[in-house]
């Protein structure tokens, strides 16, 4: 038996909305019958990034690109997978394509393109490119697995525009917090950072605020409530990040991303209703990464 998230009725054959993730009885299964936030995006004539104008375009290139079925239309509800694709394209550039022309990880060009460095904060593009760059295969695999499971759940609740903003802003700010800390404690020649974990921790923080009792199957086996996993991760990041067990991992960036996500989740936690179970896999290691 399940309970309708809208009216509270117990139903034996519940319906789960693909757009918002909530569970409903037959009377409230349609999006227009349960105030689904996905309706805000459905049929959006200007695509996923922008408010609809007073008069929606009905012809021309803009209408063809932004209408459902157009190039931008495919981004609705799929930004998690867009970011996954960008991560892997960036990884291919890092370790397959650029090394072919002599621009490997030790080159200044490679570092200037992908690494958020405390000595080169003026390279503002690295505030974003470092989110999608990774230090090793295990690093990107772990981040990809977590983003694959957590990302779509949060995106359904926030909508694609806000989800994209959450990912990029928390990722950039988490990286900046880490390198600014390095700049203060070590100096401009300290290690830089790469990786999407700050952004992913932001997503985790939001989801924890929306549904702290969400069951997560750690290592695909051990069931734990999401709040406990989040609390444990935060505690580990504090101990490792400010102690002697950092191990080349940007724990301060992890913690910063998580706190940003929690703060945003508090702001929007009136939006509830996520799946009852979630699975994700183990962590990994690499260069200083997040």
pLDDT of residue 53: 42
What confidence score (pLDDT) does residue 16 get? 77
Question: DSSP alpha helices (H): ranges in 40-123?
Answer: 61-66, 79-92, 108-114
Q: What's the CA angle centered on 129, arms 125 and 130, to 5 degrees? A: 110
As a whole number of angstroms, the distance between CA 188 and CA 182 comes to 8
- Cα 255 to its chain centre, rounded Å, is 14
- Three-state DSSP at 10 gives strand
CB 1 within 8 A of CB 29: no
Distance CA 183, CA 167 (A): 24
Give the burial class of 257: count Cβ atoms within 10 A of its Cβ; 0-12 exposed, 13-18 middle, 19 or more buried. Answer: buried
What's this model's pTM, rounded to 2 decimal places? Answer: 0.70
Read off the tokens for 257.
Answer: 């991303």
* pLDDT (tens digit per residue) in 137-159: 988 998 898 899 889 988 888 88
Model confidence at 223, pLDDT cuts 50, 70, 90, reads: confident
User: DSSP 3-state assignment of 277?
Assistant: strand
Dig out the tokens for 94 from the structure: 């890092």
The yes-or-no verdict on residue 255 having pLDDT over 70 is yes
More confident residue, 68 or 84: 84
Q: Is pLDDT above 80 for 71?
A: no
Q: For residue 229, what are its two tokens?
A: 């996993």
The whole-number average pLDDT for the span 166-186 is: 92
> How do residues 188-207 score in pLDDT, each as one tens digit?
888 889 999 899 999 989 98
Mean predicted lDDT score pLDDT of the chain: 77
- Print burial letters for 153-174: b (CB count within 10 Å at least 16), e (below 16): bbbbbbbbbbbbebbbebbbbb
- 45: pLDDT confidence band, cut at 50, 70 and 90? very low
Count other Cβ atoms within 10 Å, centred on residue 46: 17
Kindly give, in sequence order, each residue whose CB lies less than 8 Å from that of residue 184, ignoring residues fewer than 6 positions away. none
* Predicted pLDDT at 97: 94
Residue 15, SS3 per DSSP = strand
Q: For the chain, list the domains and their CATH numbers.
A: 1-41 (no CATH), 45-76 (no CATH), 77-280 (1.20.1540.10)
- Strand, coil or helix: 218: strand
Going by their DSSP bridges, the two strands 215-218 and 277-280 should be labelled as parallel
Q: Give the H/E segment covering residue 3.
A: strand 2-3
């Amino acid at each position: 038996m399940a309970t309708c998230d809208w009216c509270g009725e117990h139903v034996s054959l519940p319906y789960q909305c693909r757009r918002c993730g909530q569970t409903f009885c037959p009377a409230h299964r349609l999006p227009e019958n349960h105030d689904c936030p996905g309706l805000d995006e459905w049929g959006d004539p200007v695509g996923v990034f922008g408010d609809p104008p007073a008069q929606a375009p009905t012809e021309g290139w803009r209408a063809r690109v932004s209408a459902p079925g157009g190039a931008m239309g495919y981004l609705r509800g799929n930004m998690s997978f867009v970011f996954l694709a960008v991560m892997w394209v960036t990884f291919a550039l890092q370790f397959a394509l650029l090394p072919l022309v002599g621009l490997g990880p030790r080159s200044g060009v490679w570092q200037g393109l992908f690494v958020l460095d405390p000595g080169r904060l003026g390279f503002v593009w690295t505030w974003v490119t470092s989110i999608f760059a990774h230090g090793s295969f295990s690093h990107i695999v772990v981040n990809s697995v977590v983003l694959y499971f957590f990302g779509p759940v949060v995106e359904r609740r926030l909508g694609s525009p806000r989800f994209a903003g959450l990912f990029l802003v928390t990722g950039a700010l988490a990286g900046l917090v880490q390198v600014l800390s390095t700049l203060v404690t070590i100096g401009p020649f300290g290690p830089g950072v790469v990786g999407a974990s700050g952004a992913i921790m932001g997503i985790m923080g939001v989801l924890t605020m929306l549904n702290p009792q969400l069951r997560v199957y750690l290592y695909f086996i051990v069931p734990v409530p999401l709040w406990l996993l989040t609390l444990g991760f935060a505690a580990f990041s504090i101990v490792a990040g400010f102690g002697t067990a950092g191990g080349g991992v940007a724990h301060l960036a992890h913690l910063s991303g998580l706190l940003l996500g929690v703060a945003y989740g508090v702001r929007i936690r009136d939006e509830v209703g996520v799946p009852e179970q979630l699975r994700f896999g183990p962590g990994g290691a690499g260069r200083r990464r997040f």
